[in-house]
Amino acid sequence: MLKTNQNSVEQQIEIADRAIMEKDYDMLMSIYTDDAVLVVEPGRNARGKEQLRNAFVKISEFFNNGLRVEQNGLEVLESDDTALVLANTVVSGPDFPAVTRKATYVFKKSEDGVWLCTIDNSYGHEIIGNAIA
Amino acid sequence: MLKTNQNSVEQQIEIADRAIMEKDYDMLMSIYTDDAVLVVEPGRNARGKEQLRNAFVKISEFFNNGLRVEQNGLEVLESDDTALVLANTVVSGPDFPAVTRKATYVFKKSEDGVWLCTIDNSYGHEIIGNAIA
């Protein structure tokens, strides 16, 4: 049973980043809406928690199970129950030098007042010209 | 009285861009939610239709009433009633050479099924480190 939390969007992102690094996919999925979209790579999206969970497992494997994620600068713009996050997301892993992505995330406040990620696009503008038809 | 429209997010952006260039602020405001946020410049936001309208009038004057806006590449990521737009927004005017901004817009579907802009951040990641406290 999830307790209602009153975390800020920033705190939800910290929880998600930690969950990714600890491979705690139940915790990670609790930060997303049921119909959330994740840009797995430009041109390839996952939709819904089952696809998202599978994608995160594969991404972790790709990074030799040592994926590290941190935010090097982040701003949140809130409008009512919607929030847009602009972030410099730094991704690295064993034998993977750090890469900074101009990430864009959209959060939505649930009826219980919990901020949940509904669009996760760590590639930002890189998806232009690469989107799924 | 506004009729319900079934425009796509892309079509709503086209209407908004045309309204900006034609200084049709009633039409322009019909594309935004009541509580929409506009990044006027990094570190300065307008909130709500009155502030947005005033900001657009001043922006138009700043560009000698000849502001031109066009999208040079654009992708929309939709999740249920929320859409994130990544766009290369080109802004120019008389004596203002064209500048391309890595713009980010969030749209929300109203109860009538109309896509309305609720967060308008044409500066994208430029706001990081410049946001309002």
Q: Is residue A78 part of a domain?
A: yes
Q: Is residue B1 part of a domain?
A: no
pLDDT of residue B133: 46
CB contact under 8 A, A45 and B125: no
Mutate to test the interface with B, among A13, A35, A77 (most CBs of B within 10 A): A77
Chain A contact for B132, CB < 8 A?
A: no
What pTM value is reported for the model?
Answer: 0.93
CB contact under 8 A, A79 and B131: no
- Residue A69's CATH number: 3.10.450.50
pLDDT tens-digit map of A60-96: 999 999 999 999 999 999 999 999 999 999 999 998 9
Q: Is residue B16 part of a domain?
A: yes
**Closest residue on chain B to A118 (Cα):** B79
Assign B121 to helix, strand or coil: strand
Whether ipTM tops 0.90, in short, is yes
Q: How far apart are CA A41 and CA B24, in angstroms?
A: 39
Chain A contact for B40, CB < 8 A?
A: no
Beta pairing, strands B32-41 & B44-47: antiparallel
Query: Taking CB atoms and an 8 Å cutoff, what residues of chain A touch B37?
Result: 77-79
Task: List the strands of the sheet with A32-41, edge to edge.
Answer: A44-47, A32-41, A115-121, A96-109, A82-93, A68-79
Residue type at B50?
E
The structural domain count of chain A equals 1
CB contact under 8 A, A37 and B79: yes
Q: Is residue A4 part of a domain?
A: no
CB contact under 8 A, A104 and B108: no
Q: Is residue A71 part of a domain?
A: yes
A 12-31 → B contacts, CB under 8 A: none
For A50, which DSSP code?
H
pLDDT of residue A40: 96
Q: Is residue B2 part of a domain?
A: no
Q: Is residue B133 part of a domain?
A: no
Q: Is residue A96 part of a domain?
A: yes
Of A80, A87, A119, the CB nearest to B77: A119
pLDDT tens-digit map of A22-55: 999 999 999 999 999 999 999 999 999 999 999 9
A 93-112 → B contacts, CB under 8 A: 102, 104, 106, 108
Query: Taking CB atoms and an 8 Å cutoff, what residues of chain A touch B80?
Result: 33, 35, 118
pLDDT for A4 beyond 70? no
**Closest residue on chain A to B89 (Cα):** A125
Range of the domain at A110: 9-126
pLDDT for B121 beyond 60? yes
Handedness of CA A48, A50, A55, A57 (dihedral sign): positive
Chain B contact for A113, CB < 8 A?
A: no
